[in-house]
């Protein structure tokens, strides 16, 4: 069983049409897009020899997106993992907003754009996640970041309450003690098992990965290993990826 972003072995299954993956929804704008109650994630596998064309098309797309005043949309590329994989992330205030999907461009530009981008894409999938603000520490205003460590955890059956309690009572306080910000915790709602959790840790550079992690700093090596032991008893499988933010393909109103 293997994860690929917020999913397991079935990540490459086509669960949505291309238009559903790429059309925006009418969302309330937010200065902190990751803090929306829900998060839509489009996982796109691009043909290796067409990554340049795909990114050029995304620049066209985001220019039209900004012109129409749509809300936040962030594009990330996997740099440790499947490096032809992109994650397109948009905030969602409520599911009813999905009823108002509409194309970014006018016809016939939209039809031509869809035809061009379809040639670049090997597969795609859409998932929806619930943001757990009670387990997260949003990034401080003005703090730079360009990388994200993404850890995926599938919890053993019936152990979700134990996992939540561990994050709330031990992991979150340790991150706070270490003075860390830029921690986001999500639980899968649609598109995968609800036993799947995603944890995002933002980083400014690769040099951040050379330093002891916030849990080690806060707990010491002995305390950290004790926490790892508890964690391992309730997690069936984990995977860690690194993603790079692509600001030229993204849009964050108010930032």
Domain check: are 125 and 228 in the same one?
no
The answer to the question of residue 251 being in a domain is no
Best CA proximity match to 55, nearest among 33, 29, 84? 84
Helix or strand run (H / E) with residue 66: helix 51-67
0.85 exceeded by pTM: no
Domain check: are 67 and 172 in the same one?
no
Domain check: are 117 and 23 in the same one?
yes
Domain check: are 111 and 138 in the same one?
no
Bridge partner list, 190? 128
Side-chain half-sphere CA neighbours of 175 within 13 A: 22
Of the three residues 131, 156, 184, the one that is the final residue of a domain is: 131
pLDDT tens-digit profile, the chain (255 residues): 333 433 333 332 222 333 333 444 333 223 344 457 999 999 999 999 999 999 999 999 999 988 888 888 999 999 999 999 999 999 888 899 888 777 889 888 999 999 999 999 999 999 999 999 999 999 988 888 899 999 999 999 999 999 999 999 999 999 999 999 999 999 999 988 899 999 999 999 999 999 999 999 999 999 999 999 999 999 999 999 999 999 999 988 765
Which domain, by its residues, includes 158? Answer: 133-243
The answer to the question of residue 253 being in a domain is no
The answer to the question of residue 53 being in a domain is yes
In angstroms, the CA 239 to CA 186 distance is: 15
The answer for residues whose C-beta is within 8 angstroms of residue 250's C-beta and 6 or more apart is 62, 73, 74, 75
Domain check: are 82 and 156 in the same one?
no
Of the three residues 80, 115, 131, the one that is the final residue of a domain is: 131
Domain check: are 125 and 23 in the same one?
yes
The answer for residues whose C-beta is within 8 angstroms of residue 5's C-beta and 6 or more apart is 11, 41, 43, 78, 85, 87, 150, 152, 198, 241
Q: Residue 113 carries which DSSP code?
A: H
The answer for residues whose C-beta is within 8 angstroms of residue 24's C-beta and 6 or more apart is 65, 70, 71, 73, 90, 101, 102, 104
Torsion of CA 42, 48, 49, 51, to 10 degrees: 40
The answer to the question of residue 82 being in a domain is yes
In angstroms, the CA 242 to CA 230 distance is: 25
Give residue 35's pLDDT: 54
Buried b (16+ CB within 10 A) or exposed e, 57-77: bbeebbebbeeeebbbbbbbb
Bridge partner list, 41? 89, 127
The answer to the question of residue 3 being in a domain is no
Bridge partner list, 240? 151
Domain check: are 105 and 25 in the same one?
yes
The answer to the question of residue 171 being in a domain is yes
Of the three residues 131, 163, 194, the one that is the final residue of a domain is: 131
Best CA proximity match to 8, nearest among 195, 208, 229? 195
Give residue 252's pLDDT: 83
CATH number of the domain enclosing 203: 3.30.70.100
Domain check: are 164 and 222 in the same one?
yes
Domain check: are 14 and 123 in the same one?
yes
Number of domains the chain contains: 2
| 131, 212 Cβ separation under 8 angstroms | no
């Amino acid at each position: 069983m293997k994860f690929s972003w917020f999913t397991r072995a079935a990540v490459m299954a086509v669960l949505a049409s291309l238009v559903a993956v790429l059309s925006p929804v009418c969302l309330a704008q937010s200065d902190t897009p990751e803090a929306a109650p829900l998060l839509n994630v489009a996982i796109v596998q691009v043909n290796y020899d067409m990554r340049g064309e795909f990114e050029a098309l995304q620049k066209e797309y985001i220019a039209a997106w900004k012109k129409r005043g749509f809300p936040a949309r962030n594009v990330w590329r996997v740099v440790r993992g499947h490096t032809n994989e992109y994650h397109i992330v948009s905030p969602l205030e409520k599911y009813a907003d999905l009823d108002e999907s509409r194309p970014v461009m006018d016809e016939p530009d939209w039809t031509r754009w869809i035809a061009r981008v379809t040639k670049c894409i090997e597969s795609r999938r859409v998932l929806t996640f619930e943001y757990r603000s009670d387990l997260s520490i949003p990034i401080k205003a003005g703090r730079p970041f360009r990388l994200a460590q993404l850890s995926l955890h599938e919890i053993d059956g019936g152990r979700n309450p134990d996992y939540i309690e561990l994050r709330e009572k031990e992991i979150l306080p340790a991150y706070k003690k270490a003075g860390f910000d830029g921690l986001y915790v999500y639980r899968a709602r649609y598109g995968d098992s609800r036993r799947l959790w995603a944890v995002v840790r933002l980083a400014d550079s690769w040099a951040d990965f050379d330093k002891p992690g916030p849990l080690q700093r806060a707990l010491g090596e002995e305390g950290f290993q004790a926490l790892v032991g508890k964690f391992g008893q309730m997690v069936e499988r984990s995977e860690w990826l690194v993603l790079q933010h692509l600001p030229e393909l993204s849009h964050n109103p108010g930032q």
